[in-house]
Amino acid sequence: MTSKDKIVARARTAVVRRMDPLAAKRAATLAERRNAGIAAAPEVAAALDATAAIAVRDLAHRVRTGATDLHDQAALAQLVEAYLTHHPADTLPHGVAQAVARSFEGLWQPVGEPVSEPPPFIRDVIRDQFHRLYYHVSKRTWKDTWYRGVRTYKCPTDMWIYMELIDELMPGLVIETGTFRGGSALYIADRLETIGAGNVVTVDVNEPPKPPQHPRLTYFTGSSTDPAIVAEIAAMIPQGSPVLVILDSDHSRDHVYAELEAYAPLVPIGSYLIVEDTNVNGHPAAPDFGPGPMEAMWDFMATDPGFEVDARCERYFLTQNPSGYLKRVR
């Protein structure tokens, strides 16, 4: 019997005996490691996926037969989460989804009394599931978000954080890579106008069809990593002023890494560099994206100890930039 067979056999036995906490723990560990970008050995990953799939099937059976009295709701939630890291959500039987929703309620309000915050694991599951809902129903969320009539691919909770950072930093220059229609650049220009300081520069390989105009806003056309463009932008930074850099152009790992190398040196201590869309490649959205901003950020942070993740910028739970708000601390 291979190790995979052994784990699957154990999972099957566990299902017969209702729920095996060890199987649940293993499946949850796999989910956590995936979320952290750590790959498990293929046979272990396959076995754990099978564990989660079997548990979900078992759960479907229990829902069908009315035996939904689950003795360990946390283990259930962990198994379903593990299952969803590798299976499309629409393969989760409807009855199971309802049972899971009910079990979340039970966990959050264990004695019928609202508590201030759910347990961390449940909180993270709810956050990630809502994130996936928000991200994957994109036509009514981030692809239908507008600022003063101009489209922007931003999440409103992130836009609010940008406003707070601008108020706090009072940057002399905000540098945005990836203009798209110019909605985010216009938003930033307006925020700078309200504090009466600073300018914003935005660079894109494509010129926006109707670039919104603002006295504090400058457009560049070209690649964000073109050394000539980087040098021109660097020259626009008022001496000694705080800087806010927002990387939101080509989201492949290699391009973002090159942007980090180009723009991180422009960020003084106390200022911020935001790596956008770290949520793709399964963090927790778009699992098939491939190495992207999160992977670039990890690789960069391993070589440059000057930045720290500012988790406070993620306090609204929903952010398209998980671990992407970097503050220069040294």
Q: Which residues are registered as beta bridge partners of 275? A: 247
Q: Which is nearer to ligand SAM, 51 or 179 (CB)?
A: 179
Interaction of residue 205 with ligand SAM, rule CB under 6 A: yes
Minimum distance of ligand SAM from residue 116's CB (angstroms): 33
Interaction of residue 62 with ligand SAM, rule CB under 6 A: no
As a whole number of angstroms, the distance between CA 92 and CA 135 comes to 19
Minimum distance of ligand SAM from residue 160's CB (angstroms): 14
The b/e string for 205-234 (b: 16+ C-beta within 10 A; e otherwise) is eeebeebbebebbbbbeebbbeeebbeebe
- Within a 10 A sphere around the Cβ of 305, how many other Cβ atoms? 9
Near ligand SAM by CB under 6 A: residue from 51, 78, 184, 271: 184
Interaction of residue 321 with ligand SAM, rule CB under 6 A: no
As a whole number of angstroms, the distance between CA 304 and CA 325 comes to 15
H/E element, 173 = strand 173-177
The b/e string for 191-202 (b: 16+ C-beta within 10 A; e otherwise) is bbeeeebbbbbb
Minimum distance of ligand SAM from residue 190's CB (angstroms): 14
Span near ligand SAM by CB under 6 A; candidates 5-13, 41-49, 175-183, 192-200: 175-183
Site string for ligand SAM, 211-230 (x = CB under 6 A): ------------xx------
Tell me how far CA of residue 161 lies from CA of 156, 168, 285, 318, in angstroms: 9, 10, 20, 11
Interaction of residue 279 with ligand SAM, rule CB under 6 A: no
Minimum distance of ligand SAM from residue 185's CB (angstroms): 7
Span near ligand SAM by CB under 6 A; candidates 43-51, 77-85, 200-208, 297-305: 200-208
Span near ligand SAM by CB under 6 A; candidates 83-91, 110-118, 171-179, 189-197: 171-179
Minimum distance of ligand SAM from residue 316's CB (angstroms): 17
Span near ligand SAM by CB under 6 A; candidates 23-31, 109-117, 176-184, 311-319: 176-184
Interaction of residue 124 with ligand SAM, rule CB under 6 A: no
Q: Which residues are registered as beta bridge partners of 201? A: 175, 218
Interaction of residue 154 with ligand SAM, rule CB under 6 A: yes
Near ligand SAM by CB under 6 A: residue from 171, 183, 198, 284: 183
Residue pair 174/195 in contact by the 8 Å Cβ criterion: no
Burial class (CB in 10 A: 0-12, 13-18, 19+), 78: buried
Q: Which is nearer to ligand SAM, 20 or 250 (CB)?
A: 250
As a whole number of angstroms, the distance between CA 155 and CA 138 comes to 11
Q: Which is nearer to ligand SAM, 94 or 136 (CB)?
A: 136
Residues in 233-272 that interact with ligand SAM by CB under 6 A: 248-250, 255
Among 40, 77, 42, CA closest to 56: 77
DSSP state of 238: P
Among 281, 278, 282, 291, CA closest to 324: 278
Interaction of residue 152 with ligand SAM, rule CB under 6 A: yes
Residues contributing to the site for ligand SAM (CB under 6 A): 152-154, 176-180, 183-184, 203-206, 223-224, 248-250, 255
